[in-house]
Amino acid sequence: METITLGAGCFWCVEAIFRTLAGVLDVEAGYAGGHIDNPTYEQVCAGKTGHAEVAKITFDPKITSLNEILDVFFKSHDPTTINRQGNDIGTQYRSSIFFHIEPQKEKILKSIMKWNGETLFNNKIATEINPIKNYYPAEEYHQMYYSKNKEAPYCKAVILPKLMKMEK
């Protein structure tokens, strides 16, 4: 099994998208990259902890490769914007990849080079790449948020269209 932690805006969206992939065994909403221990959602949203909202993804590389995970990551958000995804604005929504083992870093850098060469984006990728540090699981009510709240306005207006886009 392999683990990678990804930030692509709201962690509810990221979690919902990656739960649909074959070979993904677990997705946990959390916070990574900040400078305080055990941050709360309110602290992270205030933008003072340095954490990004992330999804920690555990997958079977025999079924789904890291390259496939990264392709979904880059297609599912705008990795060229800094500290913003749609109407979600702030450092906690930055595009970020936190690698868990050193060999992942090379694959991530190659993936960015590949995507920078594509015509999908108008600008260069601004995704931050760092080793995993200061990761904390989000509060229980954030786990599997979309699955538990499909009728919520945010789920219908933001998450469902992303899922439908990724399905195509």
CB atoms within 10 A of CB 131: 12
Active site residues: 10
* Consecutive H or E run containing 11: helix 11-19
User: How far is Cα 112 from Cα 97, in angstroms, rounded to an integer?
Assistant: 11
Instruction: Please say whether the dihedral angle defined by the alpha carbons of residues 16, 71, 30 and 7, taken in this order, is positive or negative.
Output: negative
Cβ atoms 76, 14 nearer than 8 A: yes
Cβ atoms 68, 111 nearer than 8 A: no
Cβ atoms 126, 95 nearer than 8 A: yes
User: How far is Cα 168 from Cα 165, in angstroms, rounded to an integer?
Assistant: 5
Cβ atoms 74, 107 nearer than 8 A: no
